[in-house]
Structure 1
């Protein structure tokens, strides 16, 4: 049995009055929520838990106290419908969520998440979240938003606005997954209730990237590795980064950028992937070792393996700016290398990762092994990943029809 009543706490304030609380009692235990009201003892009806006729504007004050009780009753009813057995702690958590309008504002919570991501070294995620915040603010005219306002209708309109400004399915999908992650975290931390979750209706899965994943054959990778760049020395770093990425299970550029010499021990390389926080321990194959030897001989001042970050202890913004600038240059030079090697597929940093997976597939390596080597959370991700890559095996199989 649970009871709700407004009570006067007998602890006098500096004003000489006493605070009024909402008391919720269950199993002989009580929790208290302070109301905005204070009063003198003579103005309070302790038996009925309300202001008496001696209090000024007592009728209006009592109406507002009833609203506090009604709100608590609604929250408790919702909890009882979901779970017959519940505790006062659950009531307190849900009531605080329900009665705290500031806690439902989306931008302060979002900034909190971004700060946590920066502290955890997840600079890529922090950058994406920051970009989505700017985009949402632009769409909504800079107005403060609450979680209540992010409805399926809001998301539909936001999607339409993004498309009208040149957005594609893949890019819009990134933004929507970012918003979905924010809601999941807010629910997990008790900031909002699950009934506010808009993604039961709005499906992110409908947003598909228009781009097709490109992958190289092993022969094409060897072409890049073996090309003579003595007359094009500005392309050497780009070639080395690509080959190193391919032979380290498709290590992405962000992780290569921050890789340090002390991450290498003997014939093993150890690192934590920034995107997924998965731990990797990789055997260094001869082509990757050749790249490492090239940069070890340079004997630079920093502890970074590659000459991408030129100083230690860079700030988040400096790190992101450097990454964006060097990645753009890297991709541009990869395209030049592709032309020199007469490879028709457009090269980019991610083609090394795609190519790694595709070459293993063509060599007949089991999908579960490919999945584990790439750090995918489950084999379904790898299956979807491989499905979008090179179809040469299917093409060869079809030749039996000729």
Structure 2
């Protein structure tokens, strides 16, 4: 196996800047890859082959050296991936071939590096939530790999099983573990579609299903108690409660869809919006409780119906995430204050609306349409984790008749 090192060549003129270069050694033959990276002798530690950063971040060289340090680390990983690819081909190669592949960018893609590139593409086409899910997954995988990357071709059944076991050992439930594995599978399939790797079906023996979740719905009497709470002395709790109620009033509208509503979505007494998750267009009759909440928080300087986040592009998303965390935290406190048996979250509003509709004997097809599901099958799966009191009562009648 070839080895790659970073070396420093001092200037022949006194204490002037020297240059860095990479040395590739294979079968005792050494080759060099020259760079334009320049350093003073005092900025290089030959023992650890690393840059010596100034003790103070205010130093004029600090930013340059920090950036160069990141560049060297990226190049180092690139060289290691080149060597990994050549080793995997199981054919004789030379140090010249390593240099050639490095210069031409013929690198075996790493799963983490590939995901970073994929996320950039997803964000450019507006799929930020998918990119966020992939980022969460790849950060977890990076921890499992102890900060390293592995070639896509090394993502096999053994590695995936090891990652799944690592997740379980951290006390994650099956659904959370499955969430990470499913995202990793989607990333891998993207790479297969781009012909960056030949699929070896590495996800055959890991769990990628979704267990039935515990009940996350509140009965209508609890929703009414929540609505009647006097939170006037705590504006943050008051706002969080109102956002929960707005979601409930609008048939469980997701928080991101609420954040992006503008006056243009409200026309002729009808609220029309497109779900970000599915792109399905939904129409909701505008009623007084919705208007009260909007009027309560209406501001002249915001283009949005609700003051959840402002701005556009990356700024909007940053503010949205911060708002989501704040509201989630306040809802949790409200739930604890009310003594609820389940954590109060924005998603509970969606479950509660579906459960309330079911308790009122609303047809599954109508509930499905209200939730914006693609099929009644999805709605039946969704409802299966909600209120089972009707079935329980039926079972009691049967047992009591014996």
**TM-score class normalised by the smaller sequence:** 0.5 to 0.7
Match of 2:263 in 1: 261
Match of 1:323 in 2: 320
Match of 1:224 in 2: 226
Q: Report the CA distance between 1:314 and its aligned residue.
A: 4.7
Identify if the C-alpha distance between structure 1 residues 357 and 101 changes in structure 2 by more than 3 Å, giving closer, same or farther: farther
Q: Report the CA distance between 1:218 and its aligned residue.
A: 2.0
Ranked by relative contact order (alpha carbons within 8 Å, sequence separation 6 or more), the top structure is 1
Aligned match of 2:158 in 146, 149, 153? 153
SS at structure 2 position matched to 1:198: coil
Aligned match of 1:173 in 178, 181, 185? 178
Aligned match of 1:283 in 282, 285, 300? 285
Q: Report the CA distance between 1:184 and its aligned residue.
A: 2.8
Query: So what's the TM-score if we normalise by structure 2?
Result: 0.66
Whole-Å separation in 2 of the counterparts to 1:102 and 1:356: 51
Deviation readout 1:184-235 (Å, 9 max, x if unpaired): 3333444444x42323443412x647x6231011222222223333344332
Whole-Å separation in 2 of the counterparts to 1:140 and 1:338: 38
Deviation readout 1:379-402 (Å, 9 max, x if unpaired): 322212111112221233234244
Aligned match of 1:252 in 254, 271, 277? 254
Deviation readout 1:316-346 (Å, 9 max, x if unpaired): xx54543343223222322343455564443
Identify if the C-alpha distance between structure 1 residues 244 and 397 changes in structure 2 by more than 3 Å, giving closer, same or farther: same
Match of 2:354 in 1: 357
Q: How does 1:362-377 map to 2 (within 5 A)?
A: 362-377=359-374
Match of 2:295 in 1: 293
SS at structure 2 position matched to 1:271: strand
**Structure number with larger C-alpha Rg:** 1
SS at structure 2 position matched to 1:138: helix
Deviation readout 1:111-166 (Å, 9 max, x if unpaired): 23212322233322211211222222222233332222111221110011122233
Q: How does 1:1-400 map to 2 (within 5 A)?
A: 102=107, 104-193=109-198, 195-205=199-209, 208=211, 212-296=214-298, 299-309=299-309, 311-315=310-314, 318-338=315-335, 343-400=340-397
User: Does the 8 Å CA contact 1:227/1:341 hold for their aligned counterparts?
Assistant: no
SS at structure 2 position matched to 1:171: helix
Whole-Å separation in 2 of the counterparts to 1:181 and 1:290: 42
- Structure 2: gaps (5+ residues): 1-88, 90-104
Deviation readout 1:78-119 (Å, 9 max, x if unpaired): xxxxxxxxxxxxxxxxxxxxxx96465433432232123222
User: Does the 8 Å CA contact 1:125/1:275 hold for their aligned counterparts?
Assistant: no
Whole-Å separation in 1 of the counterparts to 2:206 and 2:321: 32
Whole-Å separation in 2 of the counterparts to 1:106 and 1:324: 26
Query: So what's the TM-score if we normalise by structure 1?
Result: 0.66
The number of aligned residues is 296
Whole-Å separation in 2 of the counterparts to 1:253 and 1:244: 10
User: Does the 8 Å CA contact 1:244/1:288 hold for their aligned counterparts?
Assistant: yes
Whole-Å separation in 1 of the counterparts to 2:338 and 2:196: 55
Q: Report the CA distance between 1:177 and its aligned residue.
A: 1.1
Match of 2:101 in 1: none
Whole-Å separation in 2 of the counterparts to 1:144 and 1:341: 47
Deviation readout 1:229-250 (Å, 9 max, x if unpaired): 3344332211211111011121
Whole-Å separation in 2 of the counterparts to 1:328 and 1:338: 15
Whole-Å separation in 1 of the counterparts to 2:118 and 2:284: 31
